[in-house]
Amino acid sequence: MGSLVAKKHTGEECVICEQTKTRGIHLYTSFICTDCENDLIKTDTSNPKYNYYLKKLKKITMPEIFS
């Protein structure tokens, strides 16, 4: 439990900007900070920056389910 508390105070690395942030969302096993999430939502698909986001999001993989 102590490691979970420490993790919340230090933050996590965003899969897009690769900076350590304390606020954001989890997508499978990856973390996306609030800043990148908001920017991604507002970026038009014709904007070259949108392709950058797609490339970064391809790093996210669905976790395997072991039974």
Phi, psi of 66 (to 5 degrees): -100, 130
Judge residue 8's burial from the number of C-beta atoms within 10 Å of its C-beta, 0-12 exposed, 13-18 middle, 19 or more buried.
exposed
User: What does pTM read for this prediction?
Assistant: 0.73
pLDDT range class, residue 10, cuts 50, 70, 90 = confident
What confidence tens digit (pLDDT) does each residue in 13-55 have?
Answer: 999 999 999 999 998 889 999 999 999 999 999 999 999 999 9
